[in-house]
Chain A
Amino acid sequence: MLRVLLAFVIAIAGAALVGSVMQTQFNLAEITALSVSVDMPTRMNTIVHDLLHFGPVFAAMLIPTLLIAFIIAWLVAKRCKRFERWWFIVGGGLGLATAFIIIDSLAPMPTLIAANRTTLGFVLMSATGAFAGWIFDRLWHPQARELNEELPK
């Protein structure tokens, strides 16, 4: 049980981190496209700000979403064990994409996360759910060859 919990927490943290850094790049890309230059210190400060302020909110969004998605993936994996890793990856990605759609239809603003305004942004932000699925299953049920991986010297 502890292993599942730990795997879930690390998966949420990993997805929140990657998602936060990614949406910052989308927002800054929109600013630079308007001929405003963003130097590296400013970019780093923005990344840190968003990690501290967007990251926890995104993590809170990920927790119920991936909890449901992973339970469904686990139920599917019980019937089809061979592709377990893929069920979690697909479940995480589709689960988060569905959550974005539901949240945007319920929230007063048309798009809660600005990066989701474009198709590319929506796909990549949803992919952080797939990334969480990979982390989760990698930690929960590592494959034999993954257990035998040598540590880098």
Chain B
Amino acid sequence: MIRLCVKLTVIALALFASAVQSSAVVTKTTVIADKLAFPWSMAALPEGGFVVTLRGGQLIYVAPNGAKQPIELSLPDLYATAQAGLFEVLLAPDFSSTRELVLSYACGNEAANNTCVVKGTLSAQAPYSVFNAQNIFTALPKKAGAAHFGARMTWLADGTLLVALGDGFVHREQAQLLDNHLGKIVRIHRDGSTPNDNPYKHSQASQIFSYGHRNVQGLIYDEQRDAIWQHEHGPKGGDELNKIVAGGNYGWPIATYGIDYIGAKVSPFNQLPGVKAPLYTWTPSLAPAGLALYKGDLLVSHLVGRRLQRFHYSNDSWTLTDEYLSELGQRIRAVYTSPDNQVYVLTDSAEGQLIRVELP
């Protein structure tokens, strides 16, 4: 009897363990378009098809049948090299009536650059072009180097725009200082003006919404929970999933779960008083890039990790439940959920693909 009880307990524990661990799930995928040179972001158009940014600076229209067509776009100050280039495209919440969209990109040159955002209007029909492009935000100061631009964006419920920024790599301490935009998330109106209810009032920091970020690569507003979810790259280890709140300090570089690429500690502290602790950390780093909501779950795509992860929300935290697309063996730059609840990913290579993924 005792042996039977022990056996049943072991079986129960094994079942419980398998239930709480993530599982790799093979999913059906359909390649919509290929030969996309380092695609970075996408948005589904209400009339069908997609707008896709390529890091080299091109904006592409991908028809539902996969046919590609360049979209005319003029960004005279585009800086495209290494990590720098054209980044996120985001349709305005009222795109159907206004045709307005915003684009983030690296602006400037090798000696002086940072992240810029333009607002433009997409023509009504193909062949598409973006006209009336006007700058609504320039991250300052301009700095040298072509690393850590952040550049993910999301609309909040009140119609304001969050723009996530990077620390420029060599300027990591600036992420803790409120007199610049390095390592910050900023909140602006669609016309580029500053909302008067941002957390910091003094002129140098009036656009800052949160700070202490390294290189934000995922940002999304969750209407269902009225919450902002974000992830950012750590150095060697310490990639973070965070809940962003106004005025929050997210710790970089004074508190981190990562160490420098060469093995040295960036900071002796994982957590500090007054610093928001991450909800989830990836160590070793999977380099998350892209964040989407699907059926109330979070989808996180990974560059180094070459997979798509699914997190389920319960008891105020996110739990990793499933992993997809490992079989592709591809770096994944972005994950996107269209308004009709279809999931798409962009793979990161000179011959990148736009793939539809069928998830349960």
Q: What is A's interface to B at a CB cutoff of 8 Å?
A: 20, 23-24, 27-28, 30-31, 33-34, 36, 38, 42-43, 45-46, 49-50, 53-58, 108-114, 117
Contact = CB atoms under 8 A, between A and B. Distances in A.
Given A31-B253, A34-B173, A50 B265 contact: yes
28 contacts: A20-B264, A24-B264, A27-B265, A27-B266, A30-B253, A31-B253, A31-B267, A33-B173, A36-B272, A42-B268, A43-B268, A45-B268, A46-B268, A50-B263, A50-B265, A53-B259, A53-B264, A54-B260, A57-B262, A108-B82, A109-B169, A110-B145, A110-B169, A112-B262, A113-B260, A113-B262, A113-B264, A114-B172
Q: Which 9 A-B pairs have the closest CB atoms?
A: A53-B263, A54-B264, A54-B263, A110-B145, A46-B268, A42-B268, A50-B264, A36-B254, A34-B176
A58 B170 contact: no
Contacts, number: 66
A125 B170 CA distance: 17
Contacts of B272: 36
Given A36-B267, A38-B268, A112-B261, 16 more contacts: A24-B264, A24-B265, A27-B264, A27-B267, A28-B268, A30-B173, A34-B176, A36-B269, A45-B268, A50-B263, A53-B263, A54-B263, A58-B262, A108-B82, A110-B169, A111-B169
B147 A109 contact: yes
Interface in B246-297: 253-254, 259-269, 272
Given A31-B253, A34-B254, A49 B170 contact: no
A115 B18 CA distance: 45
Contacts of A58: 262
A24 B173 CA distance: 15
A114 B268 contact: no
Contacts of B261: 109, 112
Contacts of A38: 268
Contacts of B170: 110-111, 117
Interface in B223-260: 253-254, 259-260
Given A34-B173, A34-B254, A109-B169, A23 B264 contact: yes
A20 B269 CA distance: 19
Contact of A49 (B173, B265, B269): B265
Contacts of B259: 53
A71 B307 CA distance: 48
B145 A54 contact: no
A114 B260 contact: yes
Contacts of B173: 30, 33-34
Contacts of A50: 263-265
Contacts of A55: 263
A19 to B, nearest CB: 10
